[in-house]
Amino acid sequence: MTADAITSEQATRPPRQNRPDRRRVLSPAGRKRAAGLLLLLPALIALTMFFVLPLVSIVVDSVTDPEPGLSNYAQLFTDGYTLRVLGRTLVVALVVTAAGVLLAYPYTYMMTLAGPTTRAVMVTVVLVPFWTSMLARNFAWMVLMQDGGVVQGALGLVGLGGTRLLGTTFAVTVSMTQVLLPFMVLPMYSVMQQIDRRLLLAGQSLGASRLSSFRKVYFPLSLPGVVAGASLVFVLALGFYVTPALLGSPQNALIAQVISVRTRELLDFGGGGAMGVFMLIVTLAVLAASRRLTGLGSAARVGQMGAGQAVAGQAVAGRNER
């Protein structure tokens, strides 16, 4: 190609600044989404490094150590000691959850009835354990439950003074219930405070007693909070280590203590990993069930509250007319 041809081609080519920009231009919503992803990137990296990768390592060890296969998982259901520990852990978690529901429900209900000042005091009482070290609370229970302690002295008044408390599953259960009680109260309160109390008035205006109105109207509407709190407490109770280690005994060990012994002293990383994976599966199953129950309860709650508010309005209007 001659120099004259090249020069003529360049002359006919449109200026660069007048050419249409073919690069993709993000919309304002796309730019916000991209900025949000960039802000989320450090958290995703940290979550991957400190949670996902260790979890993958535990799963791999559980099927490769000491030899490839599922022998570690088979041992969970064939070894008598492991089965007793798993059963004891599940039973303790269930008892702690049931005791938490029985203690937290009336307390939370009273919080919804109390005035602003009293409610603030009751909320502060619930939050105080969060401001106290768990070790300090466990050592306090050790002092209370030791031989000759306050609790044993109180039991002596009813003829049970010789009962040994420290080093038993009962001591572990009591302490875990006290530690986990705030995790039961707060989800319940977040649901109960949204329930329209005029629904109880509507039920009573239709001939129901106070107890019947509470049982058929208020209690079903509060079940999502109960399920959320119970599932949270149950999951946390499954992995408790400090309280059973301080207040319990090796004969009454829970799953977290056995995992610690297997990995730190016996170097059985495969067996400990299998126990951890099994508890993770139980936890995910509990959370999935609670999510489903909470979703169904929320849908029913919306329908009941919509119908109940209409009845409540009619009841209040009828009472005003009388």
Q: What angle do CA 225, 47, 270 make, to 5 degrees?
A: 95
Query: Per the structure block, which two tokens stand in for 43?
Result: 């958290």
d(CA 221, CA 40): 36
- Residue 96 or 311, more confident: 96
Q: Looking at the predicted structure, is the pLDDT value of residue 20 above 70?
A: no
Domains belonging to the chain, first-starting first, are: 81-321 (1.10.3720.10)
Phi/psi region, residue 69 (left: phi>0; alpha: psi -120 to 50; beta: rest), is left
For 173-221, what is each residue's pLDDT tens digit? Answer: 999 999 999 999 999 999 999 988 888 888 888 887 888 888 888 889 9
Position with higher pLDDT, 230 vs 11: 230
Residue 30: count of CB within 10 angstroms of its CB: 11
The string of pLDDT tens digits covering residues 133-172 is: 888 888 888 888 888 778 878 877 877 767 788 888 888 9
Give the mean model confidence (pLDDT) for residues 103-107: 94
Q: Is the pLDDT of residue 310 over 50?
A: no
- Give the pLDDT band of residue 233 (cuts 50, 70, 90): very high
Most distant CA atoms of the chain, gap in Å: 117
- State the pLDDT at residue 314: 46
